[in-house]
Structure 1
Amino acid sequence: MKLNLRTLGRLAVRALDVYRSTRQAPGPATGRTAPRRAPGRPGRRAPEGLSRPYPGDWTGPVRPVYRPLSDGQADPGEVVWTWVPFEEDPSRGKDRPVLVVDRAGEHLLCLMLTSRDRTDHLRQDPDYVDVGTGAWDPRGRPSEVKLDRVVQVLPADVRREGAVLPEDRFDRVAAALHRRRT
């Protein structure tokens, strides 16, 4: 079997996911396991699916630049799967595909994808951009990117890679995001 860097990266991410899912600190004298706590934040628990508490949606500048690399790490232009907190309750959320558009410090800046059609009477919702179909949806449904919420994702919380978005579609998303945020 021929291994390349992308394959090795995927294997490393899977191994880390397995390690995280089996590692829990023993609880006090009961034999039960204690809830996973976020490092450096006593008393604040990381929501299920995240390695640390969610820092909140990104409100700063976003400078999307298309640069997917075959290095096994999530890069702008790639669609990846991760756990995304709900807006109304960040302690809850769901696993879903997101488009990586930028980086801010240690976080990836991502936009959520949805397969729910947001076209109403031949008029597209301005908060969404059609990106078509891709390997991120195993059922082959057309997807849209949600522009009004930029979520912060730690690379360690990326579950799996879905696909690379074609550059022309990424450019459409970047242009719409730029119009929306300026």
Structure 2
Amino acid sequence: MTSIWKGIAGTVKRAVRRGPRPAPPRTTPAPRPPGRQPAAATAGRSLAYQPNLDGDADPGEVVWTWVPYEEDATQGKDRPVLVVGRTGADVLALMLSSQSDRDGQRHWFPLGEGAWDNEARPSWIRLDRVLTVDADAIRREGAILERGRFEAVAAQLRAHYGWR
């Protein structure tokens, strides 16, 4: 069963799926800069801003899913992620964090505040850890990231991580 909650100006909605916990997303490191890896590692890593509040996770939307911890993939937590692409039925996403100690850390980009955080805390996005999430594992939709902020993230991914 799905319940929908619409927020300010209709840009926020949350769909909660009930049932067994879906399999955790697979994580892969983001491509390294060109020349330091095989070309095949960046295949399919293209970016396009395509949000559409239709209940599906689309590039440019911040959604919520279970994200495993790097040090122990059997544990993790529900957190917001920015959808940056799709590959087949899977969603490519980058995790967000509201921990203020991320400021200035390598591979973290300041994203600012957004409707995905009820406490209106600034968020940072991790650029070097790509989550591959089964579309059915997305449990709720949080917000549409404004095009300008999405393009700023995309510019970082293109310049430093080999995305197209």
- For 2:108, give the aligned amino acid: Y
Greater relative contact order (CA < 8 Å, ≥ 6 in sequence)? 2
Q: Percent identity over the alignment?
A: 44
Identify the structure with the greater strand proportion: 2
- Corresponding residue for residue 180 of structure 1: 160
Q: What is the CA–CA distance in structure 2 between the aligned matches of 1:56 and 1:136, rounded to whole Å?
A: 22
Deviation, structure 1 residue 54: 4.3
Does the 8 Å CA contact 2:82/2:93 hold for their aligned counterparts?
yes
Deviation, structure 1 residue 136: 0.3
Q: What is the CA–CA distance in structure 2 between the aligned matches of 1:85 and 1:115, rounded to whole Å?
A: 17
Does the 8 Å CA contact 2:27/2:132 hold for their aligned counterparts?
yes
Residue 97 (structure 1) aligned to one of 75, 80, 84? 80
Gaps of 5+ in 1: 22-48
Deviation, structure 1 residue 104: 1.3
Q: What is the CA–CA distance in structure 1 between the aligned matches of 2:24 and 2:53, rounded to whole Å?
A: 29
In the superposition, the TM-score normalised over structure 2's length comes to 0.76
Name which one, 1 or 2, has greater alpha-carbon Rg.
1
Q: What is the CA–CA distance in structure 2 between the aligned matches of 1:107 and 1:125, rounded to whole Å?
A: 28
List structure 1 runs of 4+ shifted beyond 6 angstroms: none
Question: 5 Å matches for 1:10-21?
Answer: 13-14=15-16, 17-18=17-18, 20-21=19-20
- Corresponding residue for residue 144 of structure 1: 124
Question: 5 Å matches for 1:23-172?
Answer: 49=21, 51-52=22-23, 54-57=25-28, 60-61=41-42, 62-117=45-100, 118-119=102-103, 124-172=104-152
Does the 8 Å CA contact 2:23/2:137 hold for their aligned counterparts?
no
Q: Deviations over 1:2-29 (max 9, x none)?
A: xx9x99xx78x53xx22x24xxxxxxxx
Q: Deviations over 1:133-161 (max 9, x none)?
A: 11100000011111110011111111111
Q: What is the CA–CA distance in structure 2 between the aligned matches of 1:147 and 1:97, rounded to whole Å?
A: 14
Q: Give the paired residue count.
A: 140
Deviation, structure 1 residue 108: 0.3
In the superposition, the TM-score normalised over structure 1's length comes to 0.69
Does the 8 Å CA contact 1:128/1:146 hold for their aligned counterparts?
yes
Gaps of 5+ in 2: 31-40
Q: Does 57-66 or 92-101 show the bigger shift?
A: 57-66
Deviation, structure 1 residue 70: 2.4
Q: What is the CA–CA distance in structure 2 between the aligned matches of 1:75 and 1:88, rounded to whole Å?
A: 28
Q: SS where residue 71 of structure 1 aligns?
A: coil
